[in-house]
Amino acid sequence: VQHYERLTRHILSDMPGYADLTIRLDEARRPRETP
């Protein structure tokens, strides 16, 4: 489980730089409004 947690944290920190689009989610996992 620790391996997947580290992998997920790494992806969340690095992937937005590579992605064409990122969608932030609120606590209920719904897309958040962007300013």
The letter for the amino acid at 20 is D
Q: How confident is the model at residue 35 (pLDDT cuts 50, 70, 90)?
A: low
Counted domains in the chain: 1
Pick the residue with more confidence: 34 or 12?
Answer: 12
Token readout for 7 is 């992998």
Structural domain of residue 3, as residue ranges? 1-35
Which residues, other chains included, contact 25 with Cβ-Cβ below 8 Å and sequence gap of 6+? 31, 32
DSSP per-residue letters across the chain: -HHHHHHHHHHHHHGGGT-S----B-TTSPBPPP-
Reported as a single tens digit per residue, the pLDDT across 2-33 is 999 999 999 989 988 888 888 889 999 999 97
Per-residue model confidence (pLDDT) at position 29: 93
Whether this model's pTM surpasses 0.75: no
Strand stretches in the chain, DSSP E: none
